[in-house]
Chains A and B, each alone.
Chain A
């Protein structure tokens, strides 16, 4: 069965990719399988300077999910280009860079540097990391700010730009419209939902940062709802994510309106999950009566108005 998909200019051999922050820069997972099998690879967020991130504990488990407050730890954009990208260069699979920052200038600088590297085929703009406090600019929740940032990045980057939306907003459709208007080539949705856990013994938050981002199967219905809503108002390609662990989940995301999907937390539970999903997807599609991915997209659920 043909699994290839086009996300605008970007063509993927299948719709499955690991989500940013859950796959490092690929090296660790290459011990388990050939990364060329993936539709694409989204690497960990890059910031202008190296960052240590938050204090530990940075992760906590929840019912069917987890909280994380890594705090965008990364070796900085130059460190990533020098030390991490060479490994990915030889792969025959598109690499998407996830870009973060605390000011518009930082975002622009990082996006520009990464756009100039041939290994990177697209940029994913992370306007939605809930774990970084400084800056105070609400990139992910203020449509005007998101719009301005998207415009600025488009000015310096010739690569397809996917804006990764935060679910921590009242009006997801408004955010999607704003970044589409500013020239985004696609959308990634969703990032994590802000959450918190308290240890009953110490009466303190379990995460050192206090709050963290909720991911995993627990957030899947939120992702499905938001993608379904946004699909009604835009034709932009959507990379869907949030709790995907099975091929049935993938089918559900595509029926909601996604064109490709990313797998985050499930990689921690099973490092082979992306490979297994790709292998099993044709069978699952057939089981539900589809002969191609295109048929699933055409069968998209459009009736519900929300």
Chain B
């Protein structure tokens, strides 16, 4: 993990209040698996004491950029949305443990994302498709919140992408779990990231197959020192730290 001033190359709105940002620097080379995050300082830090964790949505090895997709939900992400090309962003990263997929081969995989849980699953799917068949189910609140459908479709025949919206304004109406049940029989494994109620529902529904869940928790340090981001666990100590042991956990390791 390093601290680096990353240079903003692109920062555009790709859906309602949702931005895609590309950041250039050395850090990209340290991203060894999908699902890790960077911890971003807001402003000069004198007003906002806490960094904001944002998942790495993709890396571009050629141009040395890290892609983030984030939703403006408060002051921190609002500040981020105001950065323009050439600005510098103070980042700590890459943080945590991502999706462990080196052993995952010739499988039928279910990837389930909700809202801003979708971004890390893009990088994941890009890596999974090299050796596996993938069904991607993306859930959003409404049509205007949908992003990255086209990008997922570009992965070719081995990836099938389905979109659902809560209000039915785009794709099928319903929740990701409504669709996931259709595929649970055929799948060998699932990966998921999204809001906690969704993760709980997915975990309860797909008990038969191994699952990998990416969690979110409010963070202090983001490096494992402060115990702000813990989650109950089935391991010996009874807890895991989302920032250091996660954000990705196997489904039977965490108690949601």
Contact = CB atoms under 8 A, between A and B. Distances in A.
Question: Interface of chain B, helix or strand or loop or mixed?
Answer: loop
Contact of A24 (B218, B225, B232): B225
A268 interface: yes
A271 interface: yes
Contact of B225 (A28, A50, A59, A217): A28
A65 interface: yes
A60 interface: yes
Considering residues B49, B230, B237, B239, which has the most beta carbons from chain A within 10 angstroms of its beta carbon? B49
B168 interface: no
A53 B226 CA distance: 12
Contacts of A271: 3, 92, 221, 223
B222 interface: yes
Nearest to A265: B49
A70 B51 CA distance: 18
Contacts of B156: none
A70 B227 contact: yes
B86 interface: no
Contacts of B231: 56
Contact of B227 (A31, A66, A73, A269): A73
A268 B227 contact: no
Interface string A102-126: 0000000000000000000000000
Interface stretch (B40-48, B63-71, B170-178): B40-48
Contacts of B220: 58-59, 66, 68, 268
A299 interface: no
A270 B49 CA distance: 10
A162 interface: no
A52 B46 CA distance: 31
Contacts of B46: 64, 217, 245
B217 A57 contact: yes
Contacts of A64: 46-47, 49
A70 B219 CA distance: 11
B195 interface: no
B199 interface: no
Given A50-B237, A61-B49, A75-B237, A56 B223 contact: no
B85 to A, nearest CB: 25
A32 interface: yes
A28 B244 contact: yes
Interface in A41-98: 44, 50, 52-53, 56-66, 68, 70, 73-75
Interface in B46-97: 46-51, 92
A61 B232 CA distance: 23
Interface of A: 21-24, 27-29, 31-32, 44, 50, 52-53, 56-66, 68, 70, 73-75, 216-217, 245, 265-272
9 contacts: A22-B221, A23-B225, A29-B223, A59-B228, A66-B49, A66-B220, A73-B230, A269-B49, A270-B41
Given A32-B1, A66-B49, A66-B50, 13 more contacts: A29-B225, A52-B230, A56-B229, A58-B228, A58-B229, A65-B49, A73-B239, A216-B49, A265-B49, A268-B220, A269-B49, A269-B51, A270-B41
